């Protein structure tokens, strides 16, 4: 019997076909009308496929869309912070009828990924969606830009998927579904697991926070996003090398596991933190570390808004609970790693390097101090920037 937290809604609902059925599904898809999907839509399809978005088994119909935008819950009453949608133009929508099957093809790579059985098509209010999901409809926000560029009609329907878009090949064992991570955590005998969300290389501050999570839970699950990021973010392959070297040299691998997932960042800050918790629950995590400006971008969210939003849900609605942490850094007076919350000293004692400054240093071949980042990690980053 698994001791892990149960999936969101009680059970995993993956829709990725078994390997033996994928070729036939692909052949069938090639006979169907096509909807081309954006990288965000494809990444959601992959998450639905692997069961990460359980209990979702497709793109949201109007009733669920409106329920989520208005109340942050599905029509079933289950917590869900943001819409998972597929959009088309009015012209494309005209050709779609209820019950019809369509093939979903990733626009960037021309890959057939799944078959959708259409159960709804509906107009939606993009500005309203942005204000509830992103807390802004500012046209400069990275997430708002993508919603505003979507087609005007959402298409709801249930999915079967048959492609992993090359992720499973590229990442091998690091690419794991919720069923696989649950089996792994069970094998290790874990009951509580702390997830660490990341889209960056891990520096000393992140390592420190990860270890806090590992100290209070049986296991640590380092879970980097490897879907599409913003311009200027470090590519997944380079980050993976950094994670590997750090795990090997500075973590107790008996108690820590690293796997990757294919989602694309929405930069929705607080709303995305809730989504992160819900799908980590599906991966088997009882806890998730939520720090300063989790999943944020620019100055759109206050420092700890992504922690506070958890209080707007009733106890028990989301079983993966936040471990609320403040920013960590090295302090010269503490003579070690510390946090904003626990250190009594001033800014002048804290070693902080902004993302912009760090990029400039690395690009110039300057080596940041080892109290900021492990030398093994810095070597990989310096090599990456030198080759750019
Ligand atoms: Zn201090």
Span 323-369, pLDDT tens digits: 999 999 999 999 999 999 999 999 999 999 998 899 999 999 999 99
**Could you tell me the two tokens for 95?**
């050709």
Instruction: Tell me whether residue 64 is one of the annotated catalytic residues.
Output: no
How many A from CA of 370 to the centre of ligand 1?
17
What 3-state class would DSSP assign to 283? coil
| Helix ranges restricted to H, the chain | 19-29, 39-50, 62-71, 90-94, 126-133, 142-149, 167-171, 178-187, 204-216, 236-250, 269-282, 305-308, 355-363, 375-387
How many A from CA of 210 to the centre of ligand 1?
20
Question: What share of the chain in percent tops pLDDT 70?
Answer: 100
How many A from CA of 351 to the centre of ligand 1?
10
**Could you tell me the two tokens for 171?**
């990442």
Kindly name the residue from 22, 36, 199, 324 that is annotated as catalytic. 199
The predicted structure's pLDDT at residue 147? 97
| Longest CA pairwise span in the chain (Å) | 68
Task: Please check the confidence at residue 233 and state whether its pLDDT lies above 90.
Answer: no
Mean of the pLDDT values across residues 257-277?
96
Query: Position of tokens 């800014």?
Result: 347
How many A from CA of 352 to the centre of ligand 1?
13
What is the enclosing helix (H) or strand (E) of 59?
strand 58-59
Question: Average pLDDT of the chain?
Answer: 96
How many A from CA of 161 to the centre of ligand 1?
51
Kindly name the residue from 200, 255, 324, 359 that is annotated as catalytic. 200
Q: In which order are the strands placed within the sheet that holds 193-198?
A: 256-258, 219-224, 193-198, 287-290, 321-324
pLDDT in tens, 11-69: 999 999 999 999 999 999 999 999 999 999 999 999 999 999 999 999 999 999 999 99
How many A from CA of 363 to the centre of ligand 1?
30
How many A from CA of 375 to the centre of ligand 1?
23
CA-wise closest residue to 85 among 161, 154, 157, 14: 154
pLDDT in tens, 105-117: 999 999 999 999 9
The predicted structure's pLDDT at residue 314? 97
d(CA 69, CA 79): 11
Q: Which of 170-184, 219-233, 274-288 has the lowest mean pLDDT?
A: 219-233
d(CA 195, CA 1): 22
How many A from CA of 362 to the centre of ligand 1?
27
CA-wise closest residue to 224 among 213, 211, 235: 235
How many A from CA of 331 to the centre of ligand 1?
5
The predicted structure's pLDDT at residue 231? 75
How many A from CA of 381 to the centre of ligand 1?
28
Instruction: Tell me whether residue 199 is one of the annotated catalytic residues.
Output: yes
What 3-state class would DSSP assign to 226? coil
The predicted structure's pLDDT at residue 257? 98
Task: Please check the confidence at residue 230 and state whether its pLDDT lies above 90.
Answer: no
């Amino acid at each position: 019997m698994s001791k892990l937290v149960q999936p969101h809604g009680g059970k995993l609902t993956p829709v990725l076909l078994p390997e033996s059925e994928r070729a036939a599904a692909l052949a069938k898809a090639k006979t169907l009308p096509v909807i081309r999907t954006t990288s965000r839509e494809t990444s959601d399809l992959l998450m639905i496929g692997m069961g990460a978005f359980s209990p979702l088994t497709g793109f949201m119909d109007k009733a669920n869309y409106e329920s989520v935008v208005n109340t942050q819950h599905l029509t079933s009453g289950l917590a869900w912070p943001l819409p998972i949608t597929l959009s088309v133009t009015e012209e494309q929508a005209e050709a779609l009828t209820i019950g019809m099957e369509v093939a979903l093809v990733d626009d960037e790579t021309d890959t057939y990924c799944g078959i959708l059985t259409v159960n709804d098509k509906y107009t939606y209010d993009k500005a309203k969606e942005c204000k509830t999901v992103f807390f802004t409809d500012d046209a400069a926000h990275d997430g708002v830009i993508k919603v505003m560029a979507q087609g005007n009609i959402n298409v709801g329907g249930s999915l079967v998927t048959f492609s992993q878009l090359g992720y499973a090949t590229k990442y091998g064992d690091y690419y794991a579904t919720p069923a696989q991570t649950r089996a792994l955590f069970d094998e290790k005998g874990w009951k509580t697991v702390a997830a660490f969300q990341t889209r960056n290389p891990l520096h000393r501050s992140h390592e420190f926070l990860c270890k806090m999570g590992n100290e209070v839970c049986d296991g640590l699950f380092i879970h980097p996003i490897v879907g599409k990021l913003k311009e200027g973010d470090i590519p997944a392959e380079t980050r993976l090398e950094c994670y590997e070297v750090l795990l090997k040299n500075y973590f107790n691998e008996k108690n820590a596991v690293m796997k990757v997932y294919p989602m694309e960042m929405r930069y929705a800050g607080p709303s995305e933190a809730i989504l992160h918790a819900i799908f980590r629950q599906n991966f088997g995590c009882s806890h998730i570390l939520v720090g300063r400006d989790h999943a944020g971008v620019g100055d759109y969210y206050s420092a700890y808004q992504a922690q506070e939003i958890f209080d707007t849900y009733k106890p028990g609605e989301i079983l993966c609970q936040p471990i609320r942490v403040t920013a960590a850094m090295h302090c010269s007076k503490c003579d070690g790693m510390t946090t904003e919350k626990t250190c009594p000293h001033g800014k002048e004692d804290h070693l902080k390097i902004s993302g912009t400054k760090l990029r400039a240093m690395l690009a110039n071949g300057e080596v940041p101090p080892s109290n900021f980042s492990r030398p093994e990690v810095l070597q990989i980053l310096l090599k990456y920037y030198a080759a750019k």
